[in-house]
């Protein structure tokens, strides 16, 4: 673990084990230590802190208990696997498209963090060797509900936007409702399964 100061009111903590990121996010929220707690790939940002040095010292003393595999809510996303990049992913994984679909559908994912756009969840679950590159030439418009892969992550575009992820399918699930108090269907820690549409 490495703790870095960010300006005068934030602390960035980097963890060696990605599992600690969600555990530290949960612990920070339980303790209510800062206005913003932003998990990411290997870090947690604690922003809006009156005394970051005291918080940094406190964080070093936290005993992180791993988040139980069934701790988060389970969300099932009815998904049709007909994305334009399904063939390219199959080639990359050296599998048939049917095998890609079976593998993806058979995996339970966990939302590691959100970013890129409101409600866009980075879901972890595929083994590391199945990481795929982003498109060299990003699309100007990716439709809302597109199920996509980049690096080790699966993501679902909550709203239409430009994007460089490889599109393997689509879901009709509504991922982003800014009129609700809890606007995002998928939040850090949510478990996700892709099921038959």
Partner 1 sequence: MRELEVVEAGALMTVQDLGRPGFAHLGVPRSGAVDTRSLTLANRLVGNDEDAAGLETTLTGVVLRFESATTIAVTGASCVVAVAGRDVAWGEPVSVPAGSMVRVGVASRGLRSYVAVAGGIDVPLVLGSRSTDVLSGLGPKPLRPGDRLPIGAVVGRPAGVDTPPAFRELSEIRLRLGPRDDWFDPASIARLDGATYVVGSSSNRIGIRLEGTPLDRRRDGELPSEGIVLGAVQVPPSGQPLIFLADHPTTGGYPVLGVVASADLPGCGQLRPGDAVTLRLVG
Q: Is 115 in the site for partner 1 (CB under 8 A)?
A: yes
Between CA 36 and CA 44 the distance in angstroms is 10
Three-state SS string across 91-125, please?
A: HHHCCCHHHHHHHHHCCCEEEEEECCCCCCEEEEC
Between CA 25 and CA 110 the distance in angstroms is 14
Using the minimum distance from each CB to partner 1, give the nearer residue, 35 or 102: 35
Q: Is 4 in the site for partner 1 (CB under 8 A)?
A: yes
Q: Is 1 in the site for partner 1 (CB under 8 A)?
A: no
Among 43, 80, 88, 107, binds partner 1 (CB under 8 A): 43
Q: Is 43 in contact with 52 (CB distance < 8 Å)?
A: no
Among 22, 26, 40, 89, binds partner 1 (CB under 8 A): 40
Residue 73: HSE in the Cβ half-sphere, 13 Å Cα cutoff? 8
Among 45, 77, 123, 132, binds partner 1 (CB under 8 A): 45
In the three-class reduction of DSSP (H, G, I as helix; E, B as strand; rest coil), residue 78 is classed as strand
Residues 140-179 that bind partner 1 (CB under 8 A): 159, 178-179
The site for partner 1 (CB under 8 A) is made up of 4-10, 12, 25, 35-45, 47-48, 113-120, 159, 178-179, 183-184, 187-188
């Amino acid at each position: 673990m490495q703790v870095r100061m960010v300006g005068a009111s934030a602390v960035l903590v980097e963890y060696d084990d990605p599992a600690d990121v969600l555990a530290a996010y949960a612990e920070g929220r339980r303790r209510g230590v800062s206005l913003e707690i932003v998990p990411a790939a290997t870090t947690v940002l604690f922003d809006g802190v009156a005394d970051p040095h005291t918080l940094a010292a406190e964080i070093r003393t936290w005993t992180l208990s791993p988040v139980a595999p069934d701790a988060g809510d389970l969300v099932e996303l009815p998904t049709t696997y007909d994305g334009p990049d399904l063939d390219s992913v199959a080639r990359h994984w050296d599998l048939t498209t049917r095998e890609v679909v079976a593998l993806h559908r058979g995996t339970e994912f966990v939302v590691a963090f959100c970013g890129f756009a409101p409600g866009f969840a980075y879901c972890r679950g595929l083994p590391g060797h199945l990481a795929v590159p982003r498109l060299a030439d990003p699309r100007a418009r990716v439709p809302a509900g597109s199920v996509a892969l980049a690096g080790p992550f699966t993501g679902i575009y909550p709203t239409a936007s430009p994007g460089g992820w490889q599109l393997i399918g689509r879901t009709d699930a509504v991922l982003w409702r800014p009129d609700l108090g809890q606007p995002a269907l998928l939040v850090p820690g949510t478990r996700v399964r892709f099921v038959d549409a």
